[in-house]
A = this chain, B = another copy of it.
């Protein structure tokens, strides 16, 4: 098996030490007894090379042979599939583990991290605006250079990214033409239109 390489920062301030997300991948490798090494990258200068690997300028990312995968949650699922210790292979247990993995990322962390961020900054208004705008800008940069997020074709990644972005579209400030075009392109798909019309019809029955 190819050796796994976890990329993280060389250095961070005192507070986040012990919490930087490379820990999730280290922990998974330790549980599954997977061979891995850790490579440090500079903290100060977020280089174009960094954004090429991680379009939000974050860490970690994982290299596994010819696969490079960012987002700690995605890298974790990728690692988990290598080991029964992390992810049971019987379909019922696997689905159960997957649902709780996504719960942690999208139901708990989706609230805990922004809550923590506002607590630390002591924000007296909607202190998530700049963060949100920065996410949108990174997405715009990515979509300026490609039609689809993955594999040069429509995938489930476009489906979910579009669904996440389309509610924010009308509320967002500033021009983001590539993102707007992406959302329009995806919501023009017959499958989206049917799903959308069906949902509206479903709720209309209740009126």
Contact = CB atoms under 8 A, between A and B. Distances in A.
B107 A163 contact: no
A193 to B, nearest CB: 9
Nearest to A24: B163
A99 B74 contact: yes
Given A71-B106, A118-B126, A150-B96, A163 B199 contact: no
Interface in A147-169: 149-151, 153-161, 163-165, 167-168
A116 B22 contact: no
A111 B132 contact: yes
Contacts of A151: 88, 93, 96-97
Interface in A73-87: 73-80, 85-87
Contact of A97 (B108, B157, B206): B157
A75 B130 CA distance: 31
A189 B156 contact: no
B192 A27 contact: yes
20 contacts: A10-B206, A17-B203, A21-B163, A23-B195, A24-B160, A30-B191, A56-B107, A69-B99, A74-B103, A76-B156, A77-B77, A77-B156, A88-B155, A97-B149, A97-B150, A100-B161, A105-B160, A110-B114, A114-B114, A124-B125
A50 to B, nearest CB: 15
Contacts of A103: 55-56, 70-71, 74, 157, 161
Nearest to A56: B107
Given A67-B95, A69-B99, 16 more contacts: A30-B191, A31-B189, A31-B191, A55-B103, A58-B107, A74-B102, A77-B102, A78-B95, A85-B154, A86-B159, A97-B157, A99-B150, A108-B164, A109-B164, A112-B164, A118-B128
A183 interface: no
Interface of A: 8, 10-12, 17-24, 26-31, 38, 40, 55-56, 58, 64, 66-80, 85-88, 91-93, 95-116, 118-119, 123-126, 128-129, 131-132, 135, 139, 149-151, 153-161, 163-165, 167-168, 171, 189-192, 194-196, 198-200, 202-203, 206
